[in-house]
Every structure is written in C-alpha cells, then in structure tokens.
Amino acid sequence: MIECKNLNVIYQNEILALDDFSVSINGPTITGIIGPNGAGKSTLLKAILSIVSYSGVVLINGENPKKILKRIAYVEQKTAIDFTFPINVKECVSLGVYPNVGITKRLKKDNWNQVSEALKAVRLEEFEQRQINTLSGGQFQRVLLARCLVQKADIILLDEPFVGIDSVSEQIIVQILKLLKENGKTILIVHHDLSKVTQYFDQLLIINKKLISFGQTEEVFTKTNLKEAYGDSIFVEEE
Ligand code: ADP
Ligand code: MG
C-alpha cells in the first residue's frame, strides 16, 4: 500500500505543486494518474520516491520509501532523459539489476540471463547491441520497461510512458503491465490521453494540486470530476 498524508510540495520559485494531498493506494492494481499540465502529477511520483522535498508523510507498506527504494522502479518523463548517453540496449537494461547487486559488483551470468529474459518480454531480443540513441521512442520506452522488469520491484511508477510512441509498443507495454499486476505489483502511471483511461486502468486518481478524486475508474471517470480538474473547456465541443 502506498499512503500519502497531507503532502505539500513547494518548489524554490514558490510554486505550490501539491496542496495538502492525501491518498491511500492498495495493490495489486494499475492506477492511472490524470490532471491538467502542471497539476503536480510528476511531482507526486517524485514525492513518493523522496526526490523532491515535501512536508507530510509517505509510507509504502508502512515503511519510509527511502529505506526501500530498490523495491520501487521508476521511469521518469521522457523530457528528463538523456538519449545521447552512450550505452547499448543490453547495458541500459542491466542498470535495473544494480539496486539489488550493488553498484560496485560485476553482474553474474544469472543477471545477464535476466536481462535477456526482460528484452524478450518487451520483444527487443534482437536489439541487445544497439545504441540507445538509435531506437525509436517506442522501442526506447520498452527498454526502460525491461529495466524495471529486471529490478523486480514491487512498485512501478511510470511518468507518461505512452507519449510519442507507436501503437505496437504501447500495446506491448500495456500487456506486460497487466501481467505484472496479476503477479502482485502495484503500478502507477501518469497519463494524459483520456480516451484510453477506461481500457488501461482499474483505478484512477485525478489531481490538480489537491486530490480531486480517487477510486475505481468507472466511478471516478465522470464529467463532474473531469470538469473540476480541467475546467469547463474540456467538454466545449459537445455543448
Ligand atoms: P505535471 O507533471 O502534472 O505536468 P509537475 O509536477 O511537473 O506537473 O509540476 C507541477 C508544478 O510545479 C508546475 O507548475 C511546474 O512548473 C512546477 N515545477 C515542477 N518542477 C519544478 C522545479 N524543479 N522547480 C520549480 N518548479 C517546478
Ligand atoms: Mg509531468
């Protein structure tokens, strides 16, 4: 369970990104996080990971997340990733193993086998030696998911994983996430395409600095909640 209690995040420029935000998310589930630009979606994931400073409390299964970071896999929003970093696909995926073996250790054959398995799962086994800067957006996002798979984390946080990717990659990723949920994982996905919400997520969290609504997707994904988050203009075409 991920518990956030009365979270406030204020950045140095005095922008209030999370405002007394509280929620408890039980797994195994796939929870979509939606809300307008600047609503604090990315900030919420960063607070759960303790990579921004916040006031309030975050607990994961009752523990301080800082103590169990290796159990949390995270793929940040694409704009923050350095695509030019000179490593190949296999090496990139292997980075997911290090939280468990330690950064100074060499990977063993067994670890490399896990890397190969993960690349097979995302259907990129033939891309092992490719430099990451030669991949398409969708292939790269699959590499990042493979990195999460080898980490064997219980909690998976993905920030807008489907932005700018092809539909085949999107389908492969969605299938894997559904399997991971069946295997007991708790998955949080920041997302902005409202058309896929009911297909992809069993729970939905709507945020605009404050929690607007959280629960089963069919109960939360309502016009009233969307208007509260995005403003009236979101339904202008229908009226
Ligand atoms: P979202 O992911 O929902 O688009 P963010 O969590 O990225 O929103 O940002 C929430 C607010 O905090 C925005 O107004 C954004 O400009 C601001 N913000 C985000 N990161 C920083 C930062 N590192 N420094 C200052 N302001 C930031
Ligand atoms: Mg964001």
Q: What is the pLDDT of residues 179-211, one digit of tens each?
A: 999 999 999 999 988 999 999 999 999 999 999
| pLDDT 10s digits, 207-233 | 999 999 999 999 999 999 999 999 987
15 Cβ below 6 A of ligand 1: yes
Over residues 92-110, the mean pLDDT reads 83
**pTM reported for the whole predicted model:** 0.94
Over residues 110-139, the mean pLDDT reads 94
In the chain, count H helices and then E strands. Answer: 9, 9
DSSP-derived 3-state class of residue 145:
helix
Q: Which ligand 1 atom is at minimum distance from the Cα of 41?
A: 3
pLDDT the model gives residue 80: 61
230 Cβ below 6 A of ligand 1: no
Q: 178 and 4 in contact (C-beta within 8 Å)? A: no
17 Cβ below 6 A of ligand 1: yes
Q: Of 142, 140, 161, whose CA–CA distance to 42 is shortest?
A: 161
Confidence of residue 236 (pLDDT cuts 50, 70, 90): low
Residue owning the nearest CA to atom 21 of ligand 1: 11
For residue 49, the CA-to-ligand 1 centroid distance in Å is: 15
Residue owning the nearest CA to atom 25 of ligand 1: 11
Mutate to test the pocket of ligand 1, among 43, 52, 190, 206 (most ligand atoms within 8 A of CB): 43
Q: Of 214, 239, 161, 238, whose CA–CA distance to 25 is shortest?
A: 214
